[in-house]
Amino acid sequence: MAGKHIRFDRFPGGHAKAAAFSFDDGREHDRRLVAMMNRHGLRGTFHLNSGFFGRDGYIRSEEVAELYAGHEISAHTVTHPFLEQSPSDQVAEEILSDRRALESLAGYPVRGMSYPFGTYDDRVVGMLPSLGIEYARTVKSHGGFVMPEDPLRWHPTCHHKEMVEAAERFLGSKPRFSRMELLFVWGHSYEFENDGNWELVDRVGELLGAREDVWHATMAEIVAYRKALGELRFSVDRSFVHNPSSLTIWFSVDGDAVCADSGATVKL
Ligand SMILES: [Zn+2]
Protein backbone atom coordinates (compact mmCIF):
# COMPACT_ATOMS: atom_id res chain seq x y z
CA MET A 1 0.00 0.00 0.00
CA ALA A 2 2.70 2.46 0.99
CA GLY A 3 4.28 4.15 -2.02
CA LYS A 4 7.74 5.50 -2.48
CA HIS A 5 8.81 8.27 -0.18
CA ILE A 6 9.33 11.56 -2.02
CA ARG A 7 11.18 14.46 -0.48
CA PHE A 8 11.66 17.95 -1.89
CA ASP A 9 15.18 18.26 -0.54
CA ARG A 10 17.33 18.94 -3.64
CA PHE A 11 18.47 21.91 -5.67
CA PRO A 12 19.67 21.65 -9.30
CA GLY A 13 22.38 19.04 -9.74
CA GLY A 14 20.91 17.06 -6.86
CA HIS A 15 22.69 19.31 -4.35
CA ALA A 16 21.23 19.83 -0.89
CA LYS A 17 22.92 23.22 -0.44
CA ALA A 18 22.69 26.56 -2.22
CA ALA A 19 24.39 29.91 -1.66
CA ALA A 20 22.97 33.30 -2.62
CA PHE A 21 24.20 36.87 -2.11
CA SER A 22 21.99 39.96 -2.15
CA PHE A 23 23.56 43.44 -2.28
CA ASP A 24 21.76 46.78 -2.24
CA ASP A 25 22.06 50.30 -3.62
CA GLY A 26 24.28 50.03 -6.73
CA ARG A 27 27.19 52.06 -5.39
CA GLU A 28 30.46 52.34 -7.32
CA HIS A 29 32.06 49.74 -5.03
CA ASP A 30 29.88 47.12 -6.73
CA ARG A 31 32.57 47.14 -9.45
CA ARG A 32 35.19 45.77 -7.09
CA LEU A 33 32.72 43.42 -5.39
CA VAL A 34 31.51 41.91 -8.66
CA ALA A 35 35.08 41.45 -9.91
CA MET A 36 35.99 39.59 -6.71
CA MET A 37 32.85 37.46 -6.83
CA ASN A 38 33.54 36.60 -10.47
CA ARG A 39 37.06 35.44 -9.61
CA HIS A 40 35.61 33.01 -7.06
CA GLY A 41 32.57 31.89 -9.04
CA LEU A 42 30.13 33.45 -6.56
CA ARG A 43 26.86 34.83 -7.92
CA GLY A 44 24.79 37.68 -6.60
CA THR A 45 21.53 39.57 -6.86
CA PHE A 46 22.04 43.34 -7.03
CA HIS A 47 19.16 45.59 -5.98
CA LEU A 48 19.41 48.94 -7.78
CA ASN A 49 17.83 52.38 -7.41
CA SER A 50 17.46 53.52 -11.01
CA GLY A 51 16.92 57.14 -9.88
CA PHE A 52 20.48 57.33 -8.53
CA PHE A 53 22.41 56.09 -11.57
CA GLY A 54 25.22 58.46 -12.50
CA ARG A 55 25.16 60.35 -9.21
CA ASP A 56 28.42 60.81 -7.35
CA GLY A 57 29.37 57.45 -5.82
CA TYR A 58 26.82 55.42 -7.79
CA ILE A 59 27.23 53.28 -10.87
CA ARG A 60 26.18 54.62 -14.26
CA SER A 61 23.24 53.27 -16.23
CA GLU A 62 25.49 52.58 -19.25
CA GLU A 63 27.59 50.09 -17.27
CA VAL A 64 24.72 48.16 -15.65
CA ALA A 65 24.27 45.40 -18.26
CA GLU A 66 27.96 44.55 -18.54
CA LEU A 67 28.85 44.96 -14.86
CA TYR A 68 26.16 42.59 -13.60
CA ALA A 69 26.35 40.05 -16.43
CA GLY A 70 26.11 36.54 -14.95
CA HIS A 71 24.46 37.96 -11.82
CA GLU A 72 20.89 39.20 -11.31
CA ILE A 73 19.66 42.78 -11.57
CA SER A 74 16.80 43.37 -9.15
CA ALA A 75 14.68 46.31 -7.99
CA HIS A 76 15.17 48.52 -4.92
CA THR A 77 12.74 51.35 -5.92
CA VAL A 78 13.62 54.50 -7.89
CA THR A 79 14.49 56.81 -4.96
CA HIS A 80 14.84 54.57 -1.87
CA PRO A 81 11.87 55.80 0.23
CA PHE A 82 10.40 54.23 3.38
CA LEU A 83 7.65 52.30 1.59
CA GLU A 84 5.47 51.89 4.67
CA GLN A 85 5.43 55.69 4.98
CA SER A 86 4.44 56.20 1.34
CA PRO A 87 0.94 56.39 -0.19
CA SER A 88 0.04 53.32 -2.22
CA ASP A 89 0.16 55.00 -5.62
CA GLN A 90 3.66 56.24 -4.81
CA VAL A 91 4.73 52.73 -3.78
CA ALA A 92 3.41 51.42 -7.11
CA GLU A 93 5.21 54.15 -9.05
CA GLU A 94 8.51 53.59 -7.21
CA ILE A 95 8.48 49.86 -7.94
CA LEU A 96 7.07 49.81 -11.47
CA SER A 97 9.29 52.67 -12.67
CA ASP A 98 12.35 51.00 -11.18
CA ARG A 99 11.43 47.72 -12.85
CA ARG A 100 10.87 49.45 -16.19
CA ALA A 101 14.21 51.30 -16.07
CA LEU A 102 16.15 48.22 -14.97
CA GLU A 103 14.49 45.94 -17.51
CA SER A 104 15.43 48.31 -20.34
CA LEU A 105 19.08 47.93 -19.26
CA ALA A 106 19.06 44.26 -18.27
CA GLY A 107 17.08 42.93 -21.21
CA TYR A 108 15.07 40.53 -19.03
CA PRO A 109 12.08 40.82 -16.68
CA VAL A 110 12.97 42.17 -13.23
CA ARG A 111 10.50 40.58 -10.81
CA GLY A 112 12.24 40.82 -7.46
CA MET A 113 13.36 43.49 -5.02
CA SER A 114 14.75 44.27 -1.61
CA TYR A 115 12.98 46.71 0.70
CA PRO A 116 14.70 50.12 1.00
CA PHE A 117 15.91 50.37 4.63
CA GLY A 118 14.55 46.83 5.02
CA THR A 119 11.18 48.23 6.13
CA TYR A 120 7.66 47.32 5.00
CA ASP A 121 4.17 46.71 6.33
CA ASP A 122 1.31 44.37 5.40
CA ARG A 123 -0.17 46.92 2.98
CA VAL A 124 3.09 47.17 1.01
CA VAL A 125 3.59 43.40 0.97
CA GLY A 126 0.00 42.92 -0.24
CA MET A 127 0.61 45.21 -3.21
CA LEU A 128 3.68 43.40 -4.53
CA PRO A 129 2.05 40.58 -6.56
CA SER A 130 0.03 43.10 -8.57
CA LEU A 131 3.27 45.00 -9.27
CA GLY A 132 4.85 41.84 -10.71
CA ILE A 133 7.14 41.29 -7.72
CA GLU A 134 7.72 37.63 -6.81
CA TYR A 135 10.19 38.08 -3.96
CA ALA A 136 11.33 40.84 -1.59
CA ARG A 137 14.26 40.64 0.81
CA THR A 138 14.24 42.04 4.32
CA VAL A 139 17.19 42.74 6.65
CA LYS A 140 15.95 40.48 9.44
CA SER A 141 18.82 38.02 9.72
CA HIS A 142 17.87 34.72 11.34
CA GLY A 143 21.21 32.88 11.28
CA GLY A 144 19.68 29.75 9.77
CA PHE A 145 19.86 28.05 6.39
CA VAL A 146 16.16 27.63 5.69
CA MET A 147 14.30 28.35 2.48
CA PRO A 148 11.92 31.33 2.85
CA GLU A 149 8.47 30.63 4.24
CA ASP A 150 7.20 33.69 2.39
CA PRO A 151 9.34 34.96 -0.53
CA LEU A 152 7.71 38.42 -0.14
CA ARG A 153 9.23 38.56 3.35
CA TRP A 154 12.47 36.78 2.53
CA HIS A 155 14.67 36.98 5.60
CA PRO A 156 18.42 36.48 5.11
CA THR A 157 20.83 34.24 6.99
CA CYS A 158 23.16 37.07 7.94
CA HIS A 159 24.76 40.37 7.02
CA HIS A 160 28.03 40.05 5.06
CA LYS A 161 30.01 40.96 8.20
CA GLU A 162 29.11 37.51 9.52
CA MET A 163 29.32 35.64 6.23
CA VAL A 164 32.63 33.83 6.78
CA GLU A 165 31.52 32.31 10.08
CA ALA A 166 28.12 31.52 8.55
CA ALA A 167 29.72 29.84 5.52
CA GLU A 168 31.85 27.65 7.80
CA ARG A 169 28.76 26.60 9.77
CA PHE A 170 26.83 26.07 6.55
CA LEU A 171 29.43 23.77 5.00
CA GLY A 172 29.83 21.82 8.24
CA SER A 173 26.12 21.43 8.93
CA LYS A 174 24.51 18.02 8.65
CA PRO A 175 20.79 18.49 9.25
CA ARG A 176 18.97 15.70 11.09
CA PHE A 177 16.54 15.37 8.20
CA SER A 178 17.62 15.95 4.64
CA ARG A 179 16.32 19.28 3.35
CA MET A 180 17.19 22.17 1.05
CA GLU A 181 19.71 24.35 2.87
CA LEU A 182 20.28 27.94 1.78
CA LEU A 183 23.06 30.29 2.88
CA PHE A 184 21.65 33.72 2.11
CA VAL A 185 23.84 36.78 2.71
CA TRP A 186 22.85 40.45 2.42
CA GLY A 187 24.82 43.69 2.57
CA HIS A 188 26.26 46.67 0.66
CA SER A 189 29.52 46.88 -1.30
CA TYR A 190 30.38 50.28 0.23
CA GLU A 191 30.48 48.71 3.69
CA PHE A 192 33.49 46.59 2.68
CA GLU A 193 35.20 49.84 1.72
CA ASN A 194 34.12 51.74 4.86
CA ASP A 195 35.02 48.88 7.18
CA GLY A 196 38.26 47.96 5.36
CA ASN A 197 37.31 44.28 5.22
CA TRP A 198 37.28 43.37 1.55
CA GLU A 199 39.18 40.23 2.52
CA LEU A 200 35.86 38.78 3.72
CA VAL A 201 34.87 38.36 0.07
CA ASP A 202 38.04 36.38 -0.68
CA ARG A 203 37.63 34.26 2.44
CA VAL A 204 34.04 33.35 1.64
CA GLY A 205 34.98 32.84 -2.00
CA GLU A 206 37.71 30.39 -1.00
CA LEU A 207 35.27 28.51 1.21
CA LEU A 208 32.35 28.35 -1.20
CA GLY A 209 33.52 29.09 -4.74
CA ALA A 210 35.29 25.83 -5.40
CA ARG A 211 32.57 23.67 -3.86
CA GLU A 212 30.83 21.72 -6.59
CA ASP A 213 28.24 20.41 -4.12
CA VAL A 214 26.82 23.92 -3.65
CA TRP A 215 24.42 25.52 -6.10
CA HIS A 216 25.45 29.16 -6.68
CA ALA A 217 22.16 30.82 -7.44
CA THR A 218 20.47 34.17 -7.87
CA MET A 219 17.29 34.90 -5.94
CA ALA A 220 15.18 34.77 -9.12
CA GLU A 221 16.60 31.32 -9.92
CA ILE A 222 15.75 30.04 -6.45
CA VAL A 223 12.18 31.36 -6.69
CA ALA A 224 11.71 29.88 -10.18
CA TYR A 225 13.13 26.54 -9.11
CA ARG A 226 10.90 26.26 -6.07
CA LYS A 227 7.86 27.20 -8.10
CA ALA A 228 8.65 24.50 -10.66
CA LEU A 229 9.22 22.00 -7.85
CA GLY A 230 5.70 22.71 -6.63
CA GLU A 231 4.31 21.97 -10.10
CA LEU A 232 5.53 18.36 -10.25
CA ARG A 233 2.64 15.97 -10.82
CA PHE A 234 3.04 12.64 -9.04
CA SER A 235 0.90 9.56 -9.58
CA VAL A 236 -1.06 8.52 -6.51
CA ASP A 237 1.30 5.59 -5.83
CA ARG A 238 4.29 7.86 -6.58
CA SER A 239 5.68 5.40 -9.11
CA PHE A 240 5.94 8.11 -11.78
CA VAL A 241 6.01 11.87 -12.07
CA HIS A 242 5.44 14.46 -14.79
CA ASN A 243 7.43 17.68 -14.84
CA PRO A 244 5.42 20.30 -16.78
CA SER A 245 7.91 23.11 -16.09
CA SER A 246 10.78 24.40 -18.25
CA LEU A 247 13.40 23.40 -15.64
CA THR A 248 15.06 20.11 -14.74
CA ILE A 249 13.85 19.38 -11.21
CA TRP A 250 15.57 17.28 -8.55
CA PHE A 251 14.10 15.59 -5.51
CA SER A 252 14.76 12.40 -3.60
CA VAL A 253 13.00 9.05 -3.81
CA ASP A 254 13.54 6.86 -0.77
CA GLY A 255 16.61 8.99 -0.02
CA ASP A 256 18.22 8.86 -3.47
CA ALA A 257 18.53 11.96 -5.68
CA VAL A 258 16.43 11.75 -8.84
CA CYS A 259 15.76 14.29 -11.58
CA ALA A 260 12.91 14.88 -13.97
CA ASP A 261 13.76 16.80 -17.14
CA SER A 262 11.56 19.58 -18.45
CA GLY A 263 8.40 18.13 -19.98
CA ALA A 264 9.32 14.54 -19.10
CA THR A 265 7.29 11.83 -17.42
CA VAL A 266 9.68 9.72 -15.35
CA LYS A 267 9.23 6.29 -13.80
CA LEU A 268 10.44 6.33 -10.22
ZN1 LIG B 1 19.17 50.38 0.17
User: For the residues of 212-237, what is the DSSP string, one character each?
Assistant: TTEEE--HHHHHHHHHHHHT-EE-TT
pLDDT of residue 1: 53
Q: Which residues contact 62 (CB under 8 A, 6 or more apart)?
A: none
Q: CA 115, 159, 119: angle at the middle one, nearest 5? A: 20
pLDDT of residue 265: 98
Q: How far is the CA of 152 from the centre of ligand 1 (A)?
A: 17
pLDDT, tens digit, for every residue of 165-189? 999 999 998 877 789 999 999 999 9
pLDDT, tens digit, for every residue of 30-53? 999 999 999 999 999 999 999 999
The neighbouring-strand residues paired with 240 are 267
% of the chain with per-residue pLDDT over 90 = 95
pLDDT of residue 108: 98
- Kind plus residue range of the DSSP H or E element containing 186: strand 181-187
What's this model's pTM, rounded to 2 decimal places?
A: 0.96
Q: How far is the CA of 179 from the centre of ligand 1 (A)?
A: 31
DSSP 146: P
User: What's the rounded mean pLDDT across residues 124-152?
Assistant: 98
The neighbouring-strand residues paired with 44 are 21
Q: How far is the CA of 48 from the centre of ligand 1 (A)?
A: 8
Q: What is the CA radius of gyration of the chain?
A: 19
Q: What residues sit around ligand 1, an ion, with C-beta below 5 angstroms? A: 24-25
pLDDT, tens digit, for every residue of 216-265? 999 999 999 999 999 999 999 999 999 999 999 999 999 999 999 999 99
Alpha helix stretches (DSSP H) within the chain: 30-40, 64-67, 88-106, 122-127, 163-172, 189-195, 199-208, 219-230
188: left (phi over 0), alpha (psi -120 to 50) or beta: beta
Q: How far is the CA of 86 from the centre of ligand 1 (A)?
A: 16
- Is the Cα torsion angle 70, 71, 77, 80 positive or negative in sign? negative
Query: Residue 199 pLDDT more than 70?
Result: yes
Q: How far is the CA of 145 from the centre of ligand 1 (A)?
A: 23
Q: How far is the CA of 235 from the centre of ligand 1 (A)?
A: 46
How far CA 72 is from CA of 23, 31, 69, 100, in Å, comes to 10, 14, 8, 15
Q: How far is the CA of 216 from the centre of ligand 1 (A)?
A: 23
Q: How far is the CA of 25 from the centre of ligand 1 (A)?
A: 5
**CATH top-level class for 13-227?**
alpha beta
What is the domain partition of the chain in residue ranges?
A: 13-227
Q: How far is the CA of 149 from the centre of ligand 1 (A)?
A: 23
Of the listed ranges 1-10, 39-48, 80-89, 113-122, the least confidently predicted one is 1-10
% of the chain with per-residue pLDDT over 70 = 99
Q: How far is the CA of 230 from the centre of ligand 1 (A)?
A: 32
Burial 168-206, CB ≥16 within 10 A → b, else e: ebbeeeeeeeeebbbbbbbbbbbbbeeeeeeebbebbbe
pLDDT of residue 177: 77
Query: Residue 100 pLDDT more than 80?
Result: yes
